[in-house]
Structure 1
């Protein structure tokens, strides 16, 4: 489909003109995005250490998705998919910003886009122009650096309010000025204060709160009281054994509890939809070494890998009087579905002129047995410390096929019988392998996906060498 040559104001006007609900009937929307939280990272998704009573309660009131996916095995592309409803491959935003430079690897990565282009229409802009007050709290990770960063901040992309971490701060243990002295905070608690303030300030108008957490991303630093608590609960024979990581997940859950309480105190729970998901799988290894941060078992591997552990994530949605309480849906969904879903929740009809790859989840939110007739794709033409080389993958029904670009090999798995991707069926089922490979190649061409190319500087002895480090980007909390 050729992208229409329309100005942003005109495209937005097409969305606004079809709004179907008056302001006083429109639902508030709270989107909560965890960072590096793996598929089994919540108690209600099977963790044997992490305690998440607030998220468990949210799942009990709403719907839990067991086949939810992030659009990428790393964060920035997934965040872009949420904002635009598009495949990262279509955006050419296919790695975390600013990526990882391996000048001597076998393949040379493409010249990809290291920012969310200001010309891309975001869900925040659609909601903002439809009368919503829009707020971004936490991690953005879609801005470029230097001149490339101009016009790419949340405030430029449809958010009325955007608050991140204090300038110059690192990690999770934050000190802020207080009456001439410094006061210590845990970053998640500090950002939750700001999220609660946004809800208070927005209660008289429809609002969209996008709270993008930093936890449980590295560095692995927990709130000291929570670390102490979990140290006494660790079972060395369990799957999850890191008390500090457990403390980080607990701080996430405490924050969700505070958000829900804030909505209750303002009598907003009856007209607020809450969505929770993660940006990619949990980090299990870096540079070929197991770090012991977390595990995504029974899924294979984690963040940065081509396997299920890198992209399958926990997801929960609570929509009052719509989602059947305590329901479970096994239909595959993906983060780019959030754009059309939020449009639907807000009562905004989609415009045919906006090239959206996602599907509204409204049918499965009402009926968890609903089925979409579609395949899902991932394209990562990069190297990552999480373990894998450039690849493209497809999930079609219960089958998942991965094509690795260094040697063109393919692997095929039947997830219904082999969720851990241990039994490669590519030679056993040649017809299925060929069919899915053809689908994968056709999709890649349809989105104009960038491909890695042979590297003339390839040096097998230095292939894993990383040159340069990305600089942290921070924004202030007033």
Structure 2
């Protein structure tokens, strides 16, 4: 037996004994557990209200809607950051961003380098960890150790070469590398060193879905962990002429708003869902989700595969491509408000008895690590997933203890968000701003749009939450921004005025141009992005 295990290192003693039991019928069949697989679907920049089942009258997501009907819907599900890399690191580690140290998207400038963005801000953002820490045991590594075959497809953005998916527990890596956006766009050729090109015009989302299905088909007789991480619906937003035409007609039928943009503190922000290019991109992603879910059934894997579906941050309403509106949630990607961090959050566990339909208990993506381990009956690792908790009891209808959730983003978002940290406890949400040290307090049960700052009416509660927030941040050695000695308030005012006038006017004009019946961005439509901030 020792020789067998040595020759076949991936076969653990436990699996070997299970094989003997099955072959020789020695009466220990009760110890052989059925295979339990995990399929994790992560969408990039996908907003809480970018779904039909969430009430969108513009986007069509029938396949995700169907998954929602079979899942627990977490109405208060959150990403762990308002931008991508920190959120993804929290999924992989089970830790809040301040603890693992990746607090901004990898590649974002810090310190004096931030001045080159010409935003003329008061603060200089601090340095942050620029690759997934090797000392962490990732979710993939934890499952691989238990005999799971691990697969990754799509966007990674957790470090350069040497810190790619295959360096952190994934045995297969299709398309995951440094880049946070699809360098070649959403149609082949992809300009991706980890993804072979298909025929010109092949859709990236569907290609990643097909790669995932091929893996699951090949591994169907043994436990697997498949992580499908779409580059969609990140910029550049692109679609086909057919889908643009469909959503352009739908926008017209819904009635075009006279104005598409309002203003946040820094940048214009989209107020309506009527971008036909983005609508087509969303539908293509949903088509790819449908392909994977149908294939699970066709392969006979739907009854023993746990499915997780979520996003890494809010929909892009400012900056980037100004693609969608998150209303009634305030803000979007890059913002400290609910639109920046609240996400679609679905979990389907076919073997879980009495799985609840929905819950309003606040949860974060850091909870997915222990939840997955618990669901497939792997021992939890509390020293690793320190800020996550298993959601299995909650999904089974049991009460949970109230806890505090923490977000830390001491940076300026490309989309107009401000350096700040957040604590949510129960219905209360406190935002602490680093420019002027002020606190905002919101009652999310009464004020989902965060219009009414009630900190002055609740001074004691504000003080308690702020102190708890800072105790946590200081306890994990969080990094904070510093005052910029070259800050020029006059230059900042000029910049803000230009955004409120010239930029907003240009965006309103562009919105109407995209909705014109004769709009055509280029010959093949594959490069149909709208704008870059």
TM-score range, shorter chain: 0.7 to 0.9
Alignment map for 1:386-397 (pairs within 5 Å): 386-397=415-426
Residue 142 of structure 1 pairs with residue 171 of structure 2 = no
1:230 Cα deviation from its structure 2 partner: 1.8
SS in 1 for 2:53: helix
Aligned twin of 1:265: 298
Q: May I ask how many residue pairs the two structures share in their alignment?
A: 436
1:106 Cα deviation from its structure 2 partner: 1.7
Given that residues 375 and 396 in structure 1 are in contact (C-alpha distance below 8 angstroms), is that contact kept between their aligned partners in structure 2?
yes
**Range moving further from structure 2, 369-378 or 456-465:** 456-465
Match of 2:43 among 23, 31, 34: 34
Q: In structure 2, how many angstroms separate the alpha carbons of the residues matched to 1:97 and 1:319?
A: 33
Aligned twin of 1:25: 34
**Range moving further from structure 2, 160-169 or 205-214:** 160-169
Which structure's CA Rg is the greater one? Answer: 2
1:459 Cα deviation from its structure 2 partner: 3.5
Residue 164 of structure 1 pairs with residue 175 of structure 2 = yes
1:461 Cα deviation from its structure 2 partner: 5.2
Q: In structure 1, how many angstroms separate the alpha carbons of the residues matched to 2:355 and 2:327?
A: 27
Question: TM-score, normalized by length of structure 2?
Answer: 0.77
- Runs (4+) of structure 1 exceeding 4 A deviation are 21-24, 165-169, 323-326, 461-465
User: Deviation per CA, 1:79-113, whole angstroms, max 9, x where unpaired?
Assistant: 00000001111111000011144225321222211
Question: TM-score, normalized by length of structure 1?
Answer: 0.86
1:227 Cα deviation from its structure 2 partner: 2.1
Given that residues 24 and 206 in structure 1 are in contact (C-alpha distance below 8 angstroms), is that contact kept between their aligned partners in structure 2?
no
User: Deviation per CA, 1:159-201, whole angstroms, max 9, x where unpaired?
Assistant: 0100017999521121389xx9953211111111211111111
Which of the pair has the greater relative contact order for Cα pairs under 8 Å at 6+ separation?
Answer: 1
Unaligned runs of 5+ in 2: 1-11, 16-29, 192-196, 258-271, 496-533
Match of 1:106 among 82, 106, 122: 122
Given that residues 59 and 326 in structure 1 are in contact (C-alpha distance below 8 angstroms), is that contact kept between their aligned partners in structure 2?
no
Aligned twin of 2:210: 193
Q: In structure 2, how many angstroms separate the alpha carbons of the residues matched to 1:24 and 1:335?
A: 28
Given that residues 370 and 381 in structure 2 are in contact (C-alpha distance below 8 angstroms), is that contact kept between their aligned partners in structure 1?
no
Aligned twin of 1:245: 278
User: Deviation per CA, 1:133-155, whole angstroms, max 9, x where unpaired?
Assistant: 000000000013xxxx42x1100
Q: In structure 1, how many angstroms separate the alpha carbons of the residues matched to 2:400 and 2:57?
A: 31
Given that residues 106 and 158 in structure 2 are in contact (C-alpha distance below 8 angstroms), is that contact kept between their aligned partners in structure 1?
yes
Unaligned runs of 5+ in 1: 1-12, 466-478
1:69 Cα deviation from its structure 2 partner: 0.3
User: Deviation per CA, 1:287-326, whole angstroms, max 9, x where unpaired?
Assistant: 9xxx641011110010101111100011111111427578
Aligned twin of 2:255: 236
Alignment map for 1:8-407 (pairs within 5 Å): 25-100=34-109, 101-103=113-115, 105-144=121-160, 149-150=161-162, 152-164=163-175, 169-175=183-189, 182-234=199-251, 235-237=254-256, 239-286=272-319, 292-322=322-352, 324=354, 327-354=357-384, 356-367=386-397, 370-407=399-436
Task: Classify 1:324/1:280 alpha carbon distance in 2 versus 1 (closer, same or farther; 3 Å).
Answer: farther
Task: Classify 1:423/1:172 alpha carbon distance in 2 versus 1 (closer, same or farther; 3 Å).
Answer: same
Q: In structure 2, how many angstroms separate the alpha carbons of the residues matched to 1:316 and 1:420?
A: 22
